[in-house]
Structure 1
Amino acid sequence: MQELRKSIVFFENVELRYDNLPVLKDISLKIEQGEHCVILGANGSGKSTLIKLINCELYPSYKDELFKREILGNERWVVTELRKHLGVVTNDLHTRFSLDGSYLSGFETVLSGFNGTIGLFDHLENTTDQMNAAEGAMERLGIHHLHDKRVDQMSTGELRKCIVARALVHPVKAILLDEPTVGLDIKAQLDFIEMMRSLAKSGTTVILVTHHIEEVFEEIQKAVLIKDGIIYASGNKDEVLNSINLSEIFNTSLEIQKQRGRYSIRPK
């Protein structure tokens, strides 16, 4: 019998409060397997909190009305088990490797994804299959030349790709990328966007969280706009990503242009 495909993300009427103050309100969101999606919003709009709800760092606040939050069909996950199905790449993780994992090689950085650690430890032995999978993840991203290069000798873009490969050591169904091109120069940004496109084409669902519309690549089908803790608009990217909507969520008059499948933005 063929396995039923579960939604990557299914939120219905979800709310999250800090000290009884709502941060996310009435969030309803569905991202299907294979439906590449961008979540776009200004700084402070609630993107980071939404990411934490998706990757199970946070759980919804209780409310009297019915609500539901499922990731890959489950309401609750052990985070280490979820990482086998949902890869997560954040700037916080990048910073931790820069500061605490500077002595690691590219291969050791990728291999550490199996145990969710910054570095390798004697009591956490890696199997031959795991080492082969780490090699395969590096090959998949075309970064095998970073195998023996130390983190403290890498460019920002090189380390970012190693961290993506780290998230791909498991056969994940989706990868969540939080502001992935921050700190990258123009060439590294373009290279990284091409890498995201390659992941999307290979069957890994890409969820891109950003405030840069220029990062929205051709394979993305769905756009979700977030403002002041609510989902302002959600749907097909060509319908959602327009000048009126973008001007509203960024609180300034903007004009959106699209050329050869890619978006750009300028003041109106």
Structure 2
Amino acid sequence: MDGIITLENVCWRRSGEEILKDINWTVNTGEHWAILGLNGSGKTSLLNIVTGYNYPTSGRVKVLDAEFGKSSLPDMRKKIGYVSSSLGRFSQTMNRETAENIIVSGKYASFGLYQEITDADYEKADDILNELRLSYLKGKTYNLMSQGEQRRILIGRALMAGPELLILDEPCSGLDVLAREDVLDMSEEVAGRSSHLLYVTHHIEEITNAITHVLLVRDGKIVAEGPKNEVLTDELLSDTYKIPVKVHWEGGRPWMSIIK
């Protein structure tokens, strides 16, 4: 595999409006990226291109050796794990499922179990629970978990299929500080596995040591992309967030304050 993601001159239009404009972006093997931008900046549209749910109006896309127009996108998606706060819409289905059943369901990309499950499936789910320090949740149903525990179990579910690319789309949305730090700790552990990580957020303080590169998006265009220490500057972030900001680093993580 010569690269994880390659987007060349990608544009995407919807109802005559250009949502993504001349996107050129490459994710190489061994890199873990954060994607930053305001609401409406194009982050979700970009993710939909990467996962093959939106097809570019123009340009070339290649993800995990699958070139759009020449490869099977359903097969490509099987190699991608996806976690988002929006998955809460499936909570009614998951509420009575145990932690291990939810993790096993990730093998089949389903919410709920509708296939015959093997002992090997449950053994792998146990391994994931142990590796992610979630074994204390075994046997506990989803409706009895805290919001932070639910989010972490969904990350475990995404790992069940052994994805080559794991997308965490605002995984800390709605979480308190303690739950957020638990999810961030887990994201660092995930980055140490074989998966490549895309971490999407509004908040630069969620960029942990595991993240190597950052993509800044504003109004459907790339403001900057590259190693995080080069991209997370006062000037570039002020441009991205459309307000003067100042960045400082603490504990290996960036933090941002508004300049009044």
Normalising by the smaller structure, the TM-score range is: over 0.9
1:7 to 3, 6, 21: 3
CA contact (8 A) 1:55 1:88 kept: no
The Cα shift of 1:131 comes to 2.3
Task: Output the CA distance in 2 between the equivalents of 1:99 and 1:228.
Answer: 35
Q: Does 1:28 align with 2:19?
A: no
**Equivalent residue number for residue 255 of structure 2:** 264
Q: Does 1:55 align with 2:55?
A: no
**Equivalent residue number for residue 19 of structure 1:** 15
The two structures, once aligned, show a CA RMSD in angstroms of 1.5
Amino acid at match of 1:236: P
Task: Output the CA distance in 2 between the equivalents of 1:111 and 1:80.
Answer: 20
**Equivalent residue number for residue 101 of structure 2:** 108
Residues 97 and 78 (structure 1), Cα distance of their counterparts in 2 relative to 1, 3 Å cut: farther
| Superimposed CA distance per residue, residues 161-185 of structure 1 (whole angstroms, 9 cap, x where no aligned partner) | 1111111012222211000101111
Task: Output the CA distance in 2 between the equivalents of 1:7 and 1:89.
Answer: 22
**Equivalent residue number for residue 133 of structure 1:** 124
CA contact (8 A) 1:96 1:118 kept: no
**Equivalent residue number for residue 158 of structure 1:** 149
- Greater shift in the superposed pair: 80-89 or 38-47: 80-89
Secondary structure, counterpart of 2:109 in structure 1: coil
Amino acid at match of 2:14: Y
| Superimposed CA distance per residue, residues 218-239 of structure 1 (whole angstroms, 9 cap, x where no aligned partner) | 1211110000001111111111
**Equivalent residue number for residue 63 of structure 2:** 71
% identical equivalent positions: 33
**Equivalent residue number for residue 92 of structure 1:** 86
Secondary structure, counterpart of 1:225 in structure 2: strand
Residues 171 and 6 (structure 1), Cα distance of their counterparts in 2 relative to 1, 3 Å cut: farther
**Equivalent residue number for residue 244 of structure 2:** 253
The Cα shift of 1:144 comes to 1.5
Q: TM-score, normalised by structure 2?
A: 0.94
Task: Output the CA distance in 2 between the equivalents of 1:141 and 1:48.
Answer: 27
1:199 to 187, 190, 197: 190
Q: TM-score, normalised by structure 1?
A: 0.91
Secondary structure, counterpart of 2:133 in structure 1: coil
**Equivalent residue number for residue 164 of structure 2:** 173
Amino acid at match of 1:72: L
Task: Output the CA distance in 2 between the equivalents of 1:139 and 1:97.
Answer: 25
The Cα shift of 1:146 comes to 1.2
Residues 78 and 102 (structure 1), Cα distance of their counterparts in 2 relative to 1, 3 Å cut: farther
Residues 80 and 167 (structure 1), Cα distance of their counterparts in 2 relative to 1, 3 Å cut: farther
Unaligned runs of at least 5 residues, structure 1: none
Amino acid at match of 1:91: S
Unaligned runs of at least 5 residues, structure 2: none
Task: Output the CA distance in 1 between the equivalents of 2:75 and 2:119.
Answer: 20
2:140 to 149, 172, 181: 149
The Cα shift of 1:129 comes to 2.5
Task: Output the CA distance in 2 between the equivalents of 1:97 and 1:145.
Answer: 23
CA contact (8 A) 2:34 2:214 kept: yes
| Superimposed CA distance per residue, residues 94-132 of structure 1 (whole angstroms, 9 cap, x where no aligned partner) | x123233211111111111122111112xx212333222
Task: Output the CA distance in 2 between the equivalents of 1:179 and 1:57.
Answer: 19
